[in-house]
Amino acid sequence: MELFLDFFANTGFAMADYRNLIMLGIGMLFIYLGIAKHYEPLLLVPIGFGILLGNIPVFKGLGLGIYEPNSVLHYLYFGVTQGIYPPLVFLGIGAMTDFSTLLARPVLMLLGAAAQMGIFMTFLGALALGFAPNEAASIGIIGGADGPTAIFLTAKLAKELIGPIAVAAYSYMALVPVIQPPIMRLLTTRKERLVQMEEPRQVSKREKLIFPILAVLLCCFIAPAALPLLGLLFLGNLLKEAVVTERLAQAARTSVIDSVTILLGMTVGASTQADVFLTGKSIGIFVLGAVSFGVATASGLIFAKIMNLFLKEKINPLLGAAGVSAVPDSARVVHMVGQEEDPTNYLLMHAMAPNVSGVIGSAVGAGILWSFIIG
């Protein structure tokens, strides 16, 4: 009987407290949203399952938990804490991304820059709420709506916040179709939403080939700290456009990014152990993350309206909302909102331009914050 009681004391049933149960509920909610509601399933399912793994109460000292040295999860988590996984995700994104629309209308790139206002406004808000500068920078980057970038910067500046920041970033990315449309309708008139964009010009193969080389040199000379992310983003894109490296591009956009996404999602989820995650700071991060996302969307929309004051060929201001780098979800949302007003208005292709420039902008923003805080 004594042996049985000893065994029972070491089971999850005996060690669990209400916080574990809350986190297990959140994990199941993520899995439900991913599978049943199709909200970013490739991210939410591994993260949700990771939350379950991280919140099964385990006996400390056996080397099982993610924060225990020598545990398997700890080794897998190494790729997150050292910022290895995010650049590999960027390699895959680069190999999937077609920059044609951006090359055809480079002016739309400014919308991607404007949406990064959210990062810096939230950085100020977090400082005002009493967060340390390294934490404030990590929270601010949620406004970039770019999960890998948020994880990369947090791994460099505030490792202890990776769990809440990653979960907040991916949650808001998944909730793009819920968060953005009301802001878009609030800040634009029906007339503006009806604006039709002109067909972009044809982009030559050589332009597409030269672009990743030019872009990596220029952006990394301006903001060298963005090199790990932008370097691999543009390498992936060059592999895609070079054609002769199709095998490598194929690997980058399938096996590499898929493997890394599984490891990244699962370990980030597992890092949300109840005792680390359920704190006042996490609530603050979630609130600021939502604000950050809203400000980023609003900045893009307002900037698009300002641009229209100077442009001969007016652009649809909804495109500004695609400046946040949730690729391709925010572009898809822009297209949907545009089609609600006019079903013949196809904005998806045009919205991809600010969307991919948002990826570049948020990586540059992360690099800048990193160099400011470390410097």
CA triple 301-142-125, angle to 5 deg: 80
**3-state helix/strand/coil string of 3-46:** HHHHHHHCCHHHHCCHHHHHHHHHHHHHHHHHHCCCCCHHHHHH
Residues 304-363 that bind other proteins (CB under 8 A): 357, 360-361
CA dihedral 372, 293, 99, 217 (to 10 degrees): 0
N- to C-terminal Cα distance for the chain?
61
227 binds other proteins (CB under 8 A): no
- How many residues sit close enough to other proteins to count as binding (CB under 8 A)? 42
| Interface map 136-175 toward other proteins (x if CB under 8 A) | x---------------------------------------
Please say which residue, 31 or 215, places its beta carbon nearer to other proteins.
215
113 binds other proteins (CB under 8 A): yes
Least spacing, CB of residue 365 vs other proteins, in Å: 5
Least spacing, CB of residue 146 vs other proteins, in Å: 13
For helices 257-270 and 147-157, give the axis angle rounded to 10 degrees: 50
Q: Rounded to whole angstroms, how far apart are CA atoms 188 and 302?
A: 9
Q: Rounded to whole angstroms, how far apart are CA atoms 67 and 316?
A: 48
Please say which residue, 225 or 334, places its beta carbon nearer to other proteins.
225
Least spacing, CB of residue 161 vs other proteins, in Å: 17
206 binds other proteins (CB under 8 A): yes
Please say which residue, 139 or 264, places its beta carbon nearer to other proteins.
139
Q: Rounded to whole angstroms, how far apart are CA atoms 225 and 37?
A: 37
210 binds other proteins (CB under 8 A): yes
Q: In 3-state terms, what secondary structure has residue 69?
A: coil
Please say which residue, 47 or 368, places its beta carbon nearer to other proteins.
368
Least spacing, CB of residue 53 vs other proteins, in Å: 36
Please say which residue, 94 or 269, places its beta carbon nearer to other proteins.
94
127 binds other proteins (CB under 8 A): yes
237 binds other proteins (CB under 8 A): no
Least spacing, CB of residue 2 vs other proteins, in Å: 54
CA dihedral 175, 180, 181, 185 (to 10 degrees): 160
128 binds other proteins (CB under 8 A): yes
Q: In 3-state terms, what secondary structure has residue 183?
A: helix
204 binds other proteins (CB under 8 A): yes
Least spacing, CB of residue 368 vs other proteins, in Å: 5
Please say which residue, 45 or 225, places its beta carbon nearer to other proteins.
225
Q: Rounded to whole angstroms, how far apart are CA atoms 87 and 152?
A: 8
Q: Rounded to whole angstroms, how far apart are CA atoms 65 and 163?
A: 14
Tell me the CA distances in angstroms from 288 to 114, 115, 164, one per residue in order.
Answer: 19, 16, 12
Whether residue 162 contacts residue 268, with contact meaning beta carbons closer than 8 Å, is answered with yes
Tokens 């404007």 belong to residue: 114
Q: Rounded to whole angstroms, how far apart are CA atoms 93 and 232?
A: 9
Q: List Cβ neighbours of 56 (8 Å cut-off, separation of 6 or more).
A: 12, 20
Q: Rounded to whole angstroms, how far apart are CA atoms 308 and 365?
A: 25
Least spacing, CB of residue 171 vs other proteins, in Å: 24
Whether residue 15 contacts residue 59, with contact meaning beta carbons closer than 8 Å, is answered with yes
Q: Which of 21, 62, 124, 311 binds other proteins (CB under 8 A)?
A: 124
Please say which residue, 22 or 203, places its beta carbon nearer to other proteins.
203
Q: Which of 8, 75, 78, 372 binds other proteins (CB under 8 A)?
A: 372
Please say which residue, 76 or 360, places its beta carbon nearer to other proteins.
360
102 binds other proteins (CB under 8 A): yes
Q: Which residues bind other proteins (CB under 8 A)?
A: 102-103, 106-107, 109-110, 112-113, 116-117, 119-121, 123-124, 127-130, 133, 136, 201, 203-204, 206-207, 210-211, 214-215, 218-219, 222-223, 357, 360-361, 364-365, 368-369, 372
